[in-house]
Amino acid sequence: MIVGESEVGSILEGGIHIQSDTDLQSEVVLKNLSIVGSEVSGVWNQGKIRLRMDSCSIKNCTGHGIEVMNRAQVHLNNVSVQGCKCSGVVAKSGSTIEICGDRSKSITGNCTKNRTDDFGLNVKSSASKIVVMGLTKERCAVENEGGGNYGGSGKISFRKE
């Protein structure tokens, strides 16, 4: 568990790489912090582990803002992702990402490499999914370049909380 004082008072320059060989038996929690300027993805969950992020911001990464793969399960509450060169939030290879909270509508200004396969919300495989709770996709991801605000071969669904 990494808990900062606040997003303004706790700034991590670089990124966080999460990896586990066991099957979803542990959980990583990131709370009240900013992750800025990663040379790769801001948060990269390489799989098989749960990740919970609460009141965090990710900004200006060279890669994706949040990249999740290999059946990882991720819950984002009041998380913003801004100004990343690739996709803002991307789910790959059987992963599930849940997004909720008023501030989670701030997945914006990403995909600045202008690649058409990058999206604000990107579901890269048909076995992966992103579930947005309490927001429409139009409110959650806005003003992303590249392929636009949302896309990919997987499913993006919306639920009222």
Integer Cα distance of 103 and 95 in angstroms? 22
pLDDT mean over 61-85: 95
Q: What's the mean per-residue pLDDT of the chain?
A: 91
Encode 6-39: b = buried (16+ Cβ within 10 Å), e = exposed.
ebeebebeebbebebeeeeeeebebbbbbbbebe
Integer Cα distance of 80 and 75 in angstroms? 13
The tokens describing 18, both together, are: 């999460």
pLDDT mean over 3-20: 88
Give the model's confidence band at 26: pLDDT under 50 very low, under 70 low, under 90 confident, else very high: confident
| Model confidence, pTM | 0.93
DSSP-derived letter for residue 14 is S
